[in-house]
């Protein structure tokens, strides 16, 4: 699936969903504390990876890696810029690592774990009732459905950590083609990048999703890939407008 942006504003891009384990069982104060912690940690990680300003750089000539952030209550969707398709799995692994590091420093008292799911799917931006850019589409639905991978009887036994990163076949194929295949073997070994065999996850509708678990050295975070140059200037500007809160 090639990254694209049509006149109807359909985006085909990486979607990353994180889910805080046991969030709804926490008190309101603890939920607020976790939400603030997660938000600031994402800002910190993106600041480290992208320099001052992070992913929310809003200069007109910039191509930020993330277009949107859609809270779900116990987590959030991060909508990647189609120019960075393929980076979603690395972003999830990088954030997972930093979440764990900070939580460990706090004695593991902030939360019990965070799961990430990644898909390469189709979504549509729209203006919500508050006048903010929001997103809807089947890509977000799939991302939520594969997030329950731990309930699958086929879940790989070697991946026992609750803080996992799972992707569907579309995201994994693009990741392997655009990222892994171009990475030097010694660098992959250093990063300890690993992908499980395919296993099936069935959602509540009985639909099958072919999934993969991903792992990486827990002490590293990786910068975004170079943005694609396949989109023409007009469409690139439309993407920048989304970050600025404007629908073309």
State pLDDT tens for residues 174-221: 999 988 888 888 888 888 999 999 998 888 888 889 999 999 988 877
Which residues make beta-bridge pairs with 69?
A: 78
Residue 237 CA: distances (Å) to CA of 28, 50, 62, 131, 247: 40, 20, 9, 20, 11
Q: How confident is the model at residue 175, as a pLDDT?
A: 93
Structural domain total, the chain: 1
Q: Considering the domain boundaries, does residue 18 fall inside one?
A: yes
* Helix, strand, or coil (residue 74): coil
In a domain, 246, yes or no: no
List the CATH number of the domain containing 178: 3.30.70.1230
pLDDT at 195: 92
Tell me how crowded residue 68 is: count the other CB atoms within 10 A of its CB.
20
Residue 159 has pLDDT above 50, yes or no: yes
Cα–Cα distance between 248 and 236 in angstroms, integer? Answer: 11
Position 244 in a domain: no
Residue 163, CA distances (Å) to 10, 59, 133, 147 in order: 31, 34, 30, 11
Q: Residue 149 has what DSSP assignment? A: G
Q: What is the pTM of this model?
A: 0.86
Confidence check: pLDDT of 125 > 50: yes
Q: What is the pLDDT of residues 14-66, one digit of tens each?
A: 999 999 888 888 889 888 888 888 888 777 776 655 543 333 334 434 677 88
Residue 3: pLDDT band by 50, 70, 90 thresholds?
Answer: very low
| Residue 225: per-residue pLDDT | 66
Position 245 in a domain? no
Residue 1, pLDDT score: 46
Rounded to the nearest 5°, which phi and psi values hold at 84? -115, 20
Instruction: Tell me the residue range of the domain where 131 lies.
Output: 4-237
- Is residue 53 domain-resident? yes
Do the domain assignments include residue 248?
Answer: no
230: number of Cβ within 10 Å? 13
Q: pLDDT tens digits for 161-185?
A: 788 999 999 999 999 998 888 888 8
Comparing CA positions, the residue from 22, 2, 21, 20 lying closest to residue 12 is 2
Nearest-angstrom CA–CA distance, 26 and 149: 23
| pLDDT higher than threshold 70 for residue 133 | yes
pLDDT digits (tens, 9 = 90+) for 55-104: 333 443 467 788 888 988 888 999 998 888 889 999 999 899 888 888 88
What residues contact residue 99 under an 8 Å CB cut-off, 6+ apart?
38, 41, 114, 163
pLDDT for residue 163: 87
Classify residue 95: in a domain, yes or no: yes
For residues 152 and 200, is the Cβ–Cβ distance under 8 A? yes
Q: How far is CA 102 from CA 106, 108, 120, 241, in A?
A: 6, 9, 29, 33
Considering the domain boundaries, does residue 242 fall inside one?
A: no
């Amino acid at each position: 699936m090639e990254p694209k942006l049509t006149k109807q504003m359909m985006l085909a891009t990486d979607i990353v969903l994180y889910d805080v384990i046991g969030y709804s069982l926490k008190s309101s104060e603890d939920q607020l504390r976790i939400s603030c912690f997660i938000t600031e940690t994402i800002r910190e990680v993106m600041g480290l990876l992208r320099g001052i300003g992070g992913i929310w750089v809003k200069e007109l000539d910039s191509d930020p890696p993330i277009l949107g952030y859609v809270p779900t209550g116990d987590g959030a969707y991060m909508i990647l810029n189609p120019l960075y398709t393929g980076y979603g799995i690395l972003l999830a692994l990088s954030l997972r690592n930093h979440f764990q590091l900070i939580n460990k420093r706090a004695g593991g008292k902030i939360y019990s774990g965070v799961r990430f799911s990644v898909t390469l799917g189709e979504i549509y931006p729209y203006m919500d009732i508050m006048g903010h850019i929001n997103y809807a589409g089947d890509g977000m639905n799939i991302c939520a459905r594969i997030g329950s991978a731990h309930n699958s009887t086929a879940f790989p036994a070697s991946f026992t950590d609750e803080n996992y990163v799972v992707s569907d076949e579309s995201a994994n194929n693009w990741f392997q083609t655009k990222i892994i295949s171009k990475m030097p073997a010694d660098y992959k070994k250093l990063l300890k990048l690993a992908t499980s065999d395919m296993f099936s996850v069935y959602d509540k509708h009985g639909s099958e999703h072919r999934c993969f678990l991903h792992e990486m050295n827990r002490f590293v975070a990786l910068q975004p890939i170079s943005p694609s140059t396949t989109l023409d200037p007009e469409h690139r500007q439309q993407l920048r407008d989304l970050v600025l809160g404007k629908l073309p």
